Structure 1
Amino acid sequence: MPGTWWRGAAIYQVYLRSFADGNGDGIGDIAGLRARLPYLADLGIEAIWLNPWYPSPMADGGYDVADYRGIEPAFGTLAEAEELIAEAHGLGMRVIIDVVPNHGSDQQEWFKEALAAGPGSAARERFWFRPGKGPGGSEPPNDWRSIFGGPAWTRVPDGEWYLHLFAPEQPDFNWGSPEVVEEFHDVLRFWFDRGVDGFRVDSAALLIKDPDAEPDGEDPFTDRDGVHEIYRGWRRIADEYGGRVLVGEVWLPDQERFSRYLRPDEMHTAFNFDFLGCPWDPAALRRCVETTLATHAPLGAPPTWVLSNHDVTRPVTRYGRADTSFDHADRKHGMPSDPDLGYRRARAAALLAMALPGSVYVYQGEELGLPEVEDIPAGLRQDPIFTRSGGTDLGRDGCRVPLPWSGDAPPFGYSIGEPWLPQPPEWKALTAEAQRDDPGSMLTLYREALRLRRIHLGDGTLTWLPHADPVLAFRRDSGLVCVANLGDGPVPLPDHTEVLLSSGPLADGALPPDTTVWLR
């Protein structure tokens, strides 16, 4: 049904700055993306999700938004954005964009007004300004810490402090202000009117907070009950337009709390980060899948399956480590990784994720098997996590290195200029051009998997099949059977009439370790 296209869609995440550069300045842009839309259509993508493309000082890769109704000049123009949306639609692909409601930029007009207006002003009510504590108000209002490290408060020249759960350049909005509520309603309509098919809602659980509350056991700024009324208002707007989707970025360990964002009058879907962070372990993965399905089924909401994004270590590197889990608190930078093992497991994980019921997200470069780049020189790193941690956390730049498209040396067809982050010379074997006609390449695996997925998989249910412990096996509604061997030795395949696709070569009718197969 067109109205519920998102329930089983294959969605490709475009980190615009690193996807393709159309004007030669070394920074990816809308022109570069438009030129590569046929690549995405050929890959079998049904929707594109773009990270923030708004005007921004880029203190946090565009997540510090200065104007929610414009396009960052380095990326292009509003007219180009509208042309992109139309061209994607013409190729059968929807367009989802990021919206960042928790915080804006310190260069946004509202925040400039707040600084000029002074304490007690209406302009400051749109943010969280508070007097300090201690002698002369010289200490922060409370001891909250920034998610990026350091204090969550910054003092302004008149002595007050403002809250920023992320970087100081990202002041938090006060969602108790009716002006903030109305502003974002208008932003949603602005982009829906331009043909956008949905929004991915950044940091969706953080909007409601109470800096003045005494500690009472309740988290002071994460997943407070008042956040749900905000998204009910957003859902009413999305429903007015029909066929539009709200996707929540909701990092919550409690599945019951997580499920509240998926009630029929709130988000359509939310990212399944438990799966993303799950180790390559059969018991852990099965438990994660079962819990996910049990959480979503009563709500009628489809799960999402995602292996990577612009914030996490790339699967080829992660799955080659002794510890294959992912946690923002410890990115395990420098932990040894076996590239062959990681590559084999990443292929198997891709087929497992694509076979599960619901929608699947592919982060750019995942289909090329790109590894994490961990040796970026300190002087070139741009992630605020790196600077605010004093270099103890290398941050997220390693998964944001510009894509290799063609050729034998950087910039690999990404640009005619020098890329904003350096590409490893050995990526010449991983370009889209080098992989396009190679039947054994990661790109060919993804292209064929997405083709079969559109025919046989997507939305629906699964039935677990009996199998030994290191194996995950299930049948989908279409009859397709997925078998993933996470053990140390080969296992026999169940009875079948045809092998539709395998992540690696089969061994005399048996399924080797770290291999997934789709059977009819």
Structure 2
Amino acid sequence: MTQNTPRTTDDATWWRSAVVYQVYVRSFADANGDGIGDLRGITQRLPYLRDLGVDALWLTPFYTSPQIDGGYDVADYRDVDPIFGNLDDFDTMIGQAHSLGLRVIVDLVPNHTSSAHPWFTAALAAGPGSAERERYLFRDGRGADGELPPNDWESIFGGPAWTRVADGQWYLHLFDPAQPDLNWRHPEVRAEFEEILRFWLDRGVDGFRIDVAHGMIKEEGLPDVGFGMLIDGRRQSSMLGSGRLPYFDQDEVHDIYRAWRPILDSYPGGRMAVAEAWAETPQRLARYIGPDELQQAFSFDFLDATWEAGSFRKVIDTALAEATIVGAPTTWVLSNHDKQRHVTRYGDGEVGLRRARAAALLMLALPGCTYLYQGEELGLPEVLDLPDELRQDPSFLRTGESRDGCRVPLPWEGTEPPYGFGPAGCDKSWLPAPASWAQLSVAAQTGVAGSTLELYRSALRIRRAHPGLAGSDDPVRWLDAAPGVLAFSRRATPDAPELVCVVNISAAPAPVGGYGPVLLASAPPTEVDGEIALPVDAAAWFERE
């Protein structure tokens, strides 16, 4: 294996072309043997991320939490939950990451707190009309005795978005009842989160992933949506990314980010923030990005593209056009902790893996920033057969839908679960890995020509070194290709070598003889009827002068 060399860490615009690796903390590496990943486990495995060739890691929440929703229910934003370690462990981890040339992004959860947060427990104790309740969204109910929720809003996790407390009032929770929504029109809420930003920036974090970045402001008056499961059988969450809801993407939310940007800019080294935001149009999504707001927003359309050339082409063209408008790089992602792994989305088994490998080369050849989800570099599929009693996703109890299958702990080594997830001799992991993962472990793939891990390592090494891929703003030039085949080139300067990416999504091998020498391929080109051809469900990078 050739070790990838880290980038320097003094580039203030590093995020424009970075490759960021998402660490789902409880499933990455377990140092103390309790079956749950932790910060010391991450520290031990940082050399793996350096050698993989990523530029940064994004940590899911590790703050003090009852863990009702995997840590996205935060009880203390300035401390580490004991299951993950402590602040000293965090400081050690970020120091080691920086010494290896890796930056660290942390998850920030500003839409809601945990119901165990001191503010919420104080609100319950204080009663209706109190100053403590003004930090959240408490309302009287409808009906003769206030027995009905204040409006028809639905939780993203299913069911009503309101829960009634003992004194008769209701509080809003767009997710689990253990995650009450904050009132972001309250100045104390805004001031608190500005201080939380500074707390972690002072500890050296390089950026923030903003959870539910579109959700903090609710429409004045909290009006009804007018449809829903109890009205016409449609889930309101189906409108995410395609329509406007009174509790998402309100114009006033941008005032928050305009207040946050000067804080980020006041620290050296290119501190940044990326929005997890859903909006009904590309134009509205683009509003989250700019010199006075956030640096990035995830391109979820790419994550949702189907295995069709037309679907990918449309998403890529749209995203690049948006990037040109706002002057910010596009942000690409194929999988994350909330989405079924793309090996399974693309067909599962051998077919799904072939397509996932090809999609990785497609994504990594595009300009902008790329986010990888832990385990995709191993070709991990979704675990579909987890026992119901082991599932911990709160949405599972309300809707039957579960995200646990993409959160199974990583296989590091060995032939038996949990594959080196914990220290030697430990057989614990909070979710069980399947027996089929022995051949997918890091150890099983390291140094093996053609393995998915080595494909990613090679792709990231070339992406960093090749002049055609180094820039975040270099244009994509589409090339003529057969139906079902995507082909484009990138060239930084007229005298630099050109990199050509070809992806065959058609039903037959695609001729590629005119593109030059192969730099990397998800499946090797072969000779068909005297011509060099790329197999079905494969991608390759070529170099030509």
Structure 1 residue 487 corresponds to structure 2 residue 506: yes
Among 236, 245, 248, the residue aligned to 2:262: 236
Equivalent residues in 2 for 1:119-138 (5 A)? 119-138=128-147
User: Who is 1:446 aligned against?
Assistant: 456
Q: 2:488 aligns with which of 474, 488, 495?
A: 474
| CA–CA distance in structure 2, aligned partners of residues 431 and 26 of structure 1 | 17
CA distance in structure 2 between the partners assigned to 1:211 and 1:422 by the alignment:
46
Corresponding residue for residue 301 of structure 2: 274
Q: What pairs up with 1:201-240 in 2 under 5 angstroms? A: 201-210=210-219, 212-215=221-224, 219-240=245-266
Question: Whole-Å Cα distance in 2 between the matches of residues 511 and 293 of structure 1?
Answer: 26
Q: Structure 2 regions of 5+ residues with no counterpart?
A: 1-9, 227-243, 493-497
Deviation at 1:215, TM superposition (A): 4.8
Contact 1:262 1:299 in 2 (8 A): yes
Amino acid at match of 2:272: V
Counterpart for residue 378 of structure 1: 388
The SS at the match of 2:335 is coil
Percent of residue pairs identical: 57
- The question of whether the paired residues in 2 share the 8 Å contact of 1:99 and 1:201 is answered with yes
Paired AA for residue 155 in structure 2: S
Structure 1 residue 211: Cα displacement: 6.5
Moved more, 470-479 or 482-491: 470-479
Cα separation, 1, equivalents of 2:523 and 2:361: 11
**SS of the counterpart of 1:309?**
coil
Letter in 2 for 1:120: G
1:517 alignment partner in structure 2: 540
SS in 2 for 1:13: strand
**Equivalent residue, structure 2, for 1:403:** 410
Whether 2:529 is the aligned partner of 1:502: answer no
Q: Secondary structure at the match of 2:525?
A: coil
Whole-angstrom CA distance in 1 between matches of 2:372 and 2:418: 23
Distance in 1 (CA, whole Å) between partners of 2:416 and 2:265 is 48
Look up the match of 1:299: 326
CA contact (8 A) 1:25 1:417 kept: no
- Determine if contact 2:152/2:224 at 8 Å carries over to the other structure: no
TM value normalised by structure 2: 0.90
> Match of 2:460, as an amino acid?
L
Query: Which residue does 2:346 correspond to in 1?
Result: 319
How high is the TM-score relative to the length of structure 1? 0.94
The structure 2 residue matched to 1:173, chosen from 165, 174, 182, is: 182
**Aligned AA (1:516):** A
* Distance change (3 Å), C-alpha of 1:402 and 1:189: same
- Structure 1 residue matching 2:133: 3-state secondary structure: helix
Letter in 2 for 1:257: R
Maintained 8 Å contact 1:16/1:50:
yes
Q: Which residue of 2 aligns with 1:462?
A: 476
Q: CA deviation at 1:454?
A: 0.7
1:252 Cα deviation after fit = 2.3
- Any conservation in 2 of the 1:46–1:94 contact (CA below 8 Å)? yes
Question: For residue 490 of structure 2, what is the amino acid of its counterpart?
Answer: R
Q: Who is 2:33 aligned against?
A: 24
CA–CA separation in structure 1 for the residues paired with 2:245 and 2:309 = 33
Aligned residues of 2:21 and 2:374 also touching (Cα < 8 A): yes
Moved more, 261-270 or 285-294: 261-270
Measured after TM superposition, the shift of residue 191 of structure 1 is 0.3
Q: Does 1:355 align with 2:381?
A: no
In structure 1, distance between residues paired with 2:72 and 2:222: 27
- The whole-number CA distance in structure 2 between the counterparts of 1:59 and 1:210 is 27
Could you say which residue in structure 2 is the equivalent of 1:328?
none
1:494, distance to aligned residue in structure 2 (A) = 4.9
Matches of 2:338 and 2:506 in 1, distance apart? 29
Superposition pairs of residues 329-340 of structure 1, within 5 angstroms: 337=348, 339-340=349-350
| CA–CA distance in structure 2, aligned partners of residues 298 and 477 of structure 1 | 21
User: Which moved further from structure 2: 493-502 or 309-318?
Assistant: 493-502
2: CA distance between counterparts of 1:310 and 1:253?
A: 22
Aligned to 1:2, what secondary structure does the other structure show?
A: coil
CA RMSD of aligned residues (A): 1.2
Change (3 A) 1:191 1:16: same
**In the TM superposition, what is the alpha-carbon distance from 1:158 to its structure 2 partner?**
1.0
Tell me how far apart the structure 2 counterparts of residues 306 and 490 of structure 1 sit (CA, whole Å).
27
Corresponding residue number in structure 2 for 1:334? none
Q: 1:312 to 1:213 in 2, by over 3 A?
A: closer
Secondary structure of residue in 2 paired with 1:96:
strand
d(CA) in 2 for partners of 1:216 and 1:264? 33
Question: Could you tell me which amino acid in structure 2 is paired with residue 411 of structure 1?
Answer: P
Q: Secondary structure of 1:350's match?
A: helix
Counterpart of 1:245 (choices 272, 283, 292) is 272
Task: Name the SS for the 2:258 alignment partner.
Answer: helix
Alpha carbons 1:142, 1:211 under 8 Å: kept: no
Distance in 2 separating the partners of 1:299 and 1:144: 33
The superposition leaves residues 422-467 of structure 1 with CA deviations (integer Å, 9 ceiling, x where unpaired) of: 1101111111000002111100000000100111224122111121
1:157 aligns with 2:180: no
> Whole-Å Cα distance in 1 between the matches of residues 336 and 44 of structure 2?
22
Secondary structure of 2:343's match? helix
Check whether the contact 2:76–2:117 (CA below 8 A) recurs between aligned residues.
yes
Residue type of the partner of 1:113?
A
CA-CA distance at 1:134 after TM superposition: 1.1
| 1:6 maps onto 2:15 in alignment | yes
One-letter amino acid matched to 2:417: P
Q: Which runs of 5+ in 1 are unaligned?
A: 321-336
For each residue in 1:315-348, what CA deviation from the matched residue of structure 2 results, as whole angstroms up to 9, or x when unmatched? Answer: 111111xxxxxxxxxxxxxxxx4x1110100000
Q: Which structure 1 residue ranges, 4+ long, deviate > 2 Å from structure 2?
A: 210-219, 494-497
Q: Could you tell me which residue of structure 1 aligns to residue 119 of structure 2?
A: 110
Q: 1:284 aligns with which of 294, 308, 311?
A: 311
Find the aligned partners of 1:397 and 1:236 in 2 and give their Cα distance: 37
Query: How far apart, in 2, do the equivalents of 1:128 and 1:250 lie?
Result: 21
1:283/1:469 contact within 8 Å kept: no
Q: How does 1:46-125 map to 2 (within 5 A)?
A: 46-125=55-134
Q: Is the 8 A contact 1:11 1:360 kept in 2?
A: yes
Amino acid at match of 1:491: A
Say if 1:103 and 1:22 are closer, same or farther in 2 by CA, change over 3 A: same
The alpha-carbon distance between structure 1 residues 211 and 162, as it changes in their structure 2 partners (threshold 3 A), is: farther
Contact 1:145 1:152 in 2 (8 A): yes
**Distance apart, 1:216 and its partner CA:** 8.5
| Count of residues in Structure 1 that have an aligned counterpart in Structure 2 | 500
